[in-house]
Amino acid sequence: MNLLTKITLVLTFLVLFVTSCLKPESFPAEPAIEFVSFDALGDSGQLTFSFTDGDGDIGLTQSQLSPPFDTSSYFYYNLYIHYFEKMDGQWVRATSDPSGNNFPTADSITFAYRLENITPLGQNTALRGEIEVVLEPFYFNTNSNHSDSLKYEILLIDRNQNISNIIETPLIVR
């Protein structure tokens, strides 16, 4: 066996040894989210946040409509983005009430989404990534005469109904 062959075998062995010792990433089973950015795109806006999920059960298939994912359930949607406006120095959950009464009610402005299943195949299903959401047609309350300052609260839900931490965007001025 010549020297080049021996060096190649040793390097191959070292690479295999090192890569076999690397542990797969692990995260808690509950999704965890962090704010990344908000960009105004004219009247619409793009919200980006990062996430991790230890068991990778983020998203739903179109056929998942049985309880608890039926249309009358809170878990039908798995991403909620709540809209707030600053009024008299306080953050208030805004409504789409055209009379201008921005008091928290059942019709508070919420963007609700049903994210598609993104569970990876294989043994390690832990997920880490970013989610970008375009808020349209408007990212702001067009009926508001009270404030040009707004923010969002975001939460993500996995298929086991684990609810992520709630994050807030920084102040957004429209």
Is it the case that residue 66 has pLDDT exceeding 60?
Answer: yes
Q: Which residues share a beta bridge with 81?
A: 111, 154
Indicate whether this model's pTM tops 0.85: no
pLDDT of residue 14: 46
- What average pLDDT score do residues 90-106 get? 65
d(CA 3, CA 132): 53
What is the set of domains in the chain, with CATH numbers?
26-173 (2.60.40.10)
Q: Which of 126, 157, 131, 141 has its CA nearest to residue 56? A: 126
In this structure, are residues 53 and 123 in contact, taking their beta carbons and an 8 Å threshold?
A: no
Q: Residue 5: pLDDT band by 50, 70, 90 thresholds?
A: very low
Q: Residue 16: pLDDT band by 50, 70, 90 thresholds?
A: very low
Is it the case that residue 155 has pLDDT exceeding 60?
Answer: yes
